[in-house]
Structure 1
């Protein structure tokens, strides 16, 4: 939960937060909205203007004297570097402080190559994207870096914690490695948490309780509770893929257990089932392509995968009672087959009260959900009262010391 300290104290961050809705306001409007004195508002705005975070947004209507200046949030003041890393590919992007995508690139990889190889690939891609960024309204300073990884992450440290498909990553200090390259704050989280944050921020900002599922090589979920990303006590909330499926039998999972949802309904498991039927499916993308091409066996396998995902999700729906379930990831590109299976199981297994107003939909943010969530995570951090006010205060102190 974000602190309300800045709002209560009328700090620069509180004034900025009010302006982040994009509506230009005069000093008088800010005074009326915050209850601060005119001199305090003027001082707060001077700091924000000097930092480039606020700009003049034109003038208000004149009431007989000189028109009053209006002020508005400047999302182009800083850049944010973001990446969503999956098992076999990554989405790498540059955004502004409004989480608007400026440059995006998809890169192939094997996360099992280890942190040094993968992180250097991200750094190289970011530097290439930065060279291509040519936007006159965007500052060149990097506000922060956000990364999503395909495994459990201790969010407070940014270190992966026993990730089952990421050999060599356990305990690796990802933030330190990236901060050494860019000299900016680095935040790391599970990729599905960031997908949930991205879907919520970009597509469903008014939904207070939702579950976002990624179905691809692996399967995971992110939870939005009361409008805030829910990570759980240790950051392990939403580990859907390693819950045992009732019909999972003895399917061996990469985590070492048997019968996990990922081992039954993940992309590689579906490809293996199709190969057993004599079909040339070697990847999740192959499975999706066959379904979209009208292959009946592929459609049947994906529909059953949806049922298996829904079977596990049904317990979460009854426990968590969301109003929205979003299905994303590469397998969701198979279309209605997967969604139909998910709906079938959830509506059959969950309590009627929990499903009465429940919507189960495909992702609208798609492949960019994770990077949009990573950008939102960074922006929430760097513009929070604790971080922004401390930074602006340090600038004021340095100026005062120089004048003394």
Structure 2
């Protein structure tokens, strides 16, 4: 009996995952796509309909030419919100349970001391726009290192953000809070929907955002964090200019370009990366030669690309991360 229950649970997760990917499908189509028998698919889909995980809507042509009822994930199971928290603005977007297209918007922050109230207001505003549908996950992109357990560390580019207040609001809403480094989220987004879709070995550099410089690094398809979450904290790197030793973030634009080009190219070669994605904010002069400097120092096998997502990359990555967590919950029922 135990083996049968385990097989049914595995088939259930496979069916849900397939419907999440394709959007909607008939029972026959699900059986063909997953290799699970039509009898088993029909039984499990019927259970999922009763439990409220699936809903029926629309028809497709059956094998004998008869209309076949389609099923899809119940959109009222929940949604997610992603916020890129910066000292002067919030970049945010929401997504349904399937992680479908979203539009990133901005909310100004008049002063860093106001950032907590603006984050709380952003959450409230988005919740009002989704009545009768629970906010399952909120992912915040932070200008700080975050370890594998989701705990932020110093250096923190925005210490004014009161995470205890944000957590309290999430608790009231029944929402799970995810904290992640902003550059790491940008790297996730570029890999999932951006300039390097499907790439496994790469880094993404964010230069001169209001919160500073950041880098996200992937090796063998895995995000590199380091023991304390400090992997990618390029602002901690020191650079010598004459007799002075300074943080890369504090260098003048020309010396900063030289330092970043050398550090980034050294990482690209020594870590055997395939691609380097660079985003430079509008604060960077148009005369910037960073990308050309990096290309000149790298072998041709390593691509140097512009960010496809630009200033939206971190918010997009927050949504990618939150949708991933929501799917894991859904597939791990009954914990959902």
TM-score bracket, normalised by the shorter chain, equals 0.7 to 0.9
Aligned to 1:149: 142
Question: Within 5 Å, which residues of 2 pair with 1:296-375?
Answer: 301=254, 304-331=255-282, 334-335=285-286, 337-338=287-288, 340-348=289-297, 350=298, 355-375=299-319
**Cα distance in structure 2, aligned partners of 1:52 and 1:25:** 16
Deviation at 1:182, TM superposition (A): 2.3
Deviates more, 1:221-230 or 1:209-218: 221-230
Matched residues in 1 for 2:319 and 2:158: separation? 23
Asked whether the 8 Å contact 1:10–1:34 carries over to 2, the reply is: no
Instruction: Tell me which residue corresponds to 1:214.
Output: 206
Do the aligned partners of 2:17 and 2:331 also contact (CA within 8 Å) in 1? no
Deviation, 1:72, is 4.1
1:43-192 mapped onto 2 (5 Å cutoff):
43-46=43-46, 48-49=48-49, 54-56=54-56, 58-64=58-64, 66-73=66-73, 77-97=77-97, 98-101=99-102, 104-108=105-109, 110-111=111-112, 113=113, 118-131=115-128, 133=129, 140-156=133-149, 158-167=150-159, 173=164, 176-192=167-183
Unaligned runs of 5+ in 2: 1-5
Question: Do the aligned partners of residues 232 and 394 (structure 1) sit closer, same or farther apart at CA in structure 2, a change above 3 Å counting?
Answer: closer
How has the CA–CA distance of structure 1 residues 389 and 360 changed in structure 2, closer, same or farther, with 3 Å as cutoff?
A: closer
Does the 8 Å CA contact 1:248/1:261 hold for their aligned counterparts? Answer: no
**TM superposition score normalised by structure 2:** 0.82
Q: 1:360 to 1:102 in 2, by over 3 A?
A: closer
Aligned equivalents of 2:151, 2:190: Cα separation in 1: 24
Of 197-206 and 173-182, more deviation after overlay is shown by 173-182
Aligned residue for 1:230?
Answer: 224
- Shift in alpha-carbon separation, 1:28–1:62, aligned structure 2, 3 A: closer
Q: Which structure has more strand as a fraction of its residues?
A: 2
Instruction: Give the Å deviation of 1:82.
Output: 1.4
Cα drift, residue 168 of structure 1: 6.4
C-alpha distance after superposition, 1:14-73 (max 9, x if no partner)? 322223333643323323443434444234434544566544463333433633333345
Deviation at 1:126, TM superposition (A): 2.3
Corresponding position of 1:245: 239
The Cα offsets for residues 241-271 of structure 1, whole Å up to 9 and x where unpaired, read as 2112344853xxxxxxx5221121xxxx54x
Q: Name the structure 1 match of 2:248.
A: 261
Please give the secondary structure, in 2, of the residue aligned with 1:328. strand
User: What SS does the corresponding residue of 1:223 show, helix, strand or coil?
Assistant: strand
Q: Name the structure with the higher helix share.
A: 1
Checking the alignment, whether the CA contact within 8 Å between 2:248 and 2:256 is kept in structure 1 is no
Map of 1:393 onto structure 2: 334
Q: Aligned residue for 2:187? A: 196
Change (3 A) 1:381 1:61: same
CA displacement at 1:346 relative to structure 2: 4.8
- 1:95 and 1:248 map into 2 onto residues whose CA distance is 50
1:195-250 CA-partner distances (Å, limit 9, x unpaired)? 11112222132322221111114111012333343333432221122112344853
8 Å CA contact 1:87, 1:150 repeated in 2 = no
The unaligned stretches of length 5 or more in structure 1 are 1-5, 251-257, 271-300, 396-404
Query: Structure 1's 55 and 145: CA in aligned 2 closer, same or farther, altered over 3 A?
Result: same
In the superposition, the TM-score normalised over structure 1's length comes to 0.69
Pairwise CA RMSD: 3.3
> 1:23 and 1:72 mapped to 2: Cα distance?
6
When residues 200 and 47 of structure 1 are mapped into structure 2, their CA distance, relative to the original with a 3 A threshold, is: farther
